[in-house]
Amino acid sequence: MKKQLLLFVSIAISSLAISQVTPTFGLRAGLSSSGMRGDAVNSLKSTLDLANGNITTVNHTGFFAGTYATIPVGPVFSVEPALYYSQKGYELKGAFSIKGLNFLGANAKAKLNSQYIDIPVLLKANINGFQVFAGPQLSYLVQADLKTTAGALGINILNRKLDVSSQFNRWDAGVTGGIGYSFTNGINVMAAYDYGLSKVDANSNVNSYNRSIKVGIGFKF
C-alpha cells in the first residue's frame, strides 16, 4: 500500500512538473477531531496496565496547518498536492495504571498526541465555487506522546508524560475526501475525513487505524 501511494505521488508530481499550467498556492489551517478505528485501547497495552471493561475512548481535539498547490487540469477539475502538520491521537478514560508504578488511577485519563506530516494528493472538482475532493494520503509520524493524569477528590495525584513513538509505525497510508467552498476573494473553507489504511501498531499485531475529521479555512494567493 505504501509503495503504491508513493508511486502515485511521484507520478502526479512529475506530470505536473512538465505541465504548461501555472499552479496557484495557498495556506490552510483548522481544527481536527481524531480517533482510532479498531482495537484502539489495545494499541497501548505495552505502556498501560488496563482494567478490562473499564476503559472508554474519546476523540482527541487538535489542529492542522500547512500549504497546498492547485493545478488546473480542465475547466472543472484540478489536482491539489499539500503538505500539513497534523495533530492526531485519541484519549482513554477509566481505571488503569502505568507499568512499573503499581498505581491504579481513579478517574484516570490518558491522552495520546501524535504529530504527523500529512501529504495528500487530491483530485478536486470545482463547480461555481462548490468543491468536492478525494485522493490518497501518506503520513509520517514525527512524535507520539502519552500524557497520563489521575486524581481523587479533586486532587491530581498523577501527571506523567511518556514518549511512545516506538510503539507506532512511522509511516501511515490512507485516503481522504470531503467538500469545500471557494470564495472569489481567495478565501476557502473545507471539511474532510481522513481514513487510515495502515496499522499504526509498530509490530502490526493490533488492528488500529488512524481516523480524523478536519475543518479548515484557507487563502489562495
Q: Which DSSP string do the residues of 3-66 spell out, in sequence order?
A: HHHHHHHHHHHHHHHT-SSPPEEEEEEEEEEEEEEESTGGGGTTTEEEEEEEEEEEEEEEEEEE
Structural domain total, the chain: 1
CA distance 39 to 204: 12
Evaluate if residue 150 carries a pLDDT over 90: no
Q: Which of 17-26, 27-36, 47-56, 71-80 has the lowest mean pLDDT?
A: 47-56
Give the lowest-confidence range in 53-67, 121-135, 142-156.
142-156
In contact, 36 and 59? CB cutoff 8 Å: no
Q: Which three cell numbers mark 196?
A: 487510515
Q: Is the pLDDT of residue 56 over 50?
A: yes
Residue 86 contacts residue 139 (beta carbons within 8 Å): yes
Q: pLDDT tens for residues 57-104?
A: 788 899 999 999 999 988 899 999 999 999 998 887 766 555 555 444
Residue 13: CATH number of its domain: 2.40.160.20
Residue 49: all three cell numbers together? 496496565
**pLDDT on residue 53:** 47
Structural domain containing residue 174: 2-220
Average pLDDT over residues 179-200: 94
pTM above 0.85, yes or no: no
